[in-house]
Structure 1
Amino acid sequence: MRRIAGRLTVAAALLVLAACGRATEADVAAADDGPAPAASASCTDGPPEATVSDPGAEPRTLMELAPSAGDTGGIDLSLTIHTTATVDGVARPAMAAQPMVIGMAMTVEEVTDDEITTAIAYDRVEADGVDAATRASLETVVGIGGTITTTRSGAFVDGGLDLAGLDPQLAPMMRQLEEELASLTIPLPTVPVGIGATWDVVTDVDAQGITWCTTTGYELTAFDGDAYELAVEASQRLEPGTIEEGGVTIDVVEGSGSSTGTSGGRLSFPVAVEGSSNATNSVVMASDGAGTEQTVEVKTAIQAEITGRG
């Protein structure tokens, strides 16, 4: 959840440029397909690590995930997205709010001394205000499956989806969701902590070939030895760069974002099963693909909520 806003803001900016004639729909799709640049040195390579700034009150416990193979669970992710844009300082018509619910079932497949692998399967996709054709297309997401692998401390190691049989028009969206699988995991401290403990995690995420560097701060607000609750704050900054497709160069000038919220889960299950967040992001992009440079600024506000099942 901490990463979704940045990715969607870049996607919205590309769509506005396309509408202005500065990039074609093919450019937008190709930009999503393109290889990601190397992450900034200020972001991290490898599994994210939790840097503890305050170990919290006594008693302190090592928060290590301890599920069993065969454990099951499920979540529903509700998103409401509000987008506004300006082109050369002139406001464009606001994009309508886009409420959506995405559900998935999860089963722990394998638990080793070092890692946990969990199978996931999308079993629910609902969107308000879409036509019948779009609704039918979205329904092809149901049944798409994949895996998430984490360390025993919850740090994301790997993840992927099997997109066979998916409506091709939805492939870019699902590739984005595939790269967002890490957002379902929470890197926990590798040292004993207690109530009030705080730690930071630095990660990077690719959004249509552009890198967002995210610093997420966590505070342990409740813990009973299994179930935990966290207060979460995140800040993002975008690494400037360019997207080049079909002879059109789109300059990503700047971007930033922030979010606040809560998250929660159990040490007996490897994925966070409760949470909510409010995020805002802004990105500025420019293009002279039609011979006249235009600058687009897109702001996105996203309300997200994760609800566990059972």
Structure 2
Amino acid sequence: MLTIEQMVERIQPLDAEAMEGAQRRLDSLTKPPGSLGKLEDLAKQAAGITGEVTPDLSRKAVIVMAGDHGVCEEGVSAFPAEVTPQMVLNFLTGGAAVNVLARQAGADVICVDIGVNAELEHPGLEQRKIRRGTGNIARGPAMTRAEAEAAVRAGFDLVAEQAAQGVRVFATGEMGIGNTTPSAAMMVALTGLDPDLAVGAGTGIDEARRRHKVDVVRRAVDVNAPDASDTMDVLAKLGGLEIAGLVGVILGAAAHRCLVVVDGFISSAAALVAVRLAPLALGYMVGSHLSMEQGHARLMEATGLNPVLHMDMRLGEGTGAVLTFHLIEASQRILKEMATFESAGVSNK
């Protein structure tokens, strides 16, 4: 059973030689140098991650981690906690937005019960439950450190299993009513940002309830007094089981030299934790989109991610990340299918 430190030790720097090879290939194509912008950046990053100039990235999966949150007792969400298990079943029957977008992208949807406050049974469900929901962070810790580590390990192990089956591109997805609250609380604890700037409308609450949510986040940080220099302490005291699971997904993807596309606000909170634990993991991440959730831009900046899409989305589930799969495929098609100046007989200054 790997420790967090052992997971981190498995992450290596990007392959500089492969990235140089991708750059040479891009510069030989019939276009001005750098003219395809972020598509070229994605192509070089994929080469550095996989160690191959033109890797096979056809196998893709979005991992949707699901967990409940005790802080819902504070009235921070527009939806009741019962929606979490209901939405899990929706994912499993293929009816959610992420299912639709994943089908379009040719990606698998892997739904994981890591902390749902219900007993769910379905042949397609990945059962990795650590406990039935977290504690109310406005009154005490979300979970123990051992539970947080177990959730990270669950995500890491799941990626290892999928990578062994040939998946090389992962997306982070999540489901958990109330989970923008622990995400904001973690952001405040790790960055020092004022809660009023970190807390947004979440599922669509009005300004009065948002102000209440700000107070809940402030209380959570004060009550739990997490040690900002101890990232796992912050995750255990303020986070969520699905957030911890996504930390493991990110670390696992990096350890197995796979791309991991980070979705919105909650996924970015997991990405910040992953980077604080393992700075090298940043090179394996692709920032998918800029969420409409207040604080997301600052959260991505703190993590070091630069989103490639601006779609005014705020759904979560991995929807923005799955849309980015198309851009990754486009970057690979450019490398593999575009003519060079020599093969096309085009003059190159």
Answer yes or no: same fold by TM over 0.5: no
TM category (shorter chain) comes to under 0.3
Normalising by structure 2, we get a TM-score of 0.23
Higher helix share: 2
Normalising by structure 1, we get a TM-score of 0.25
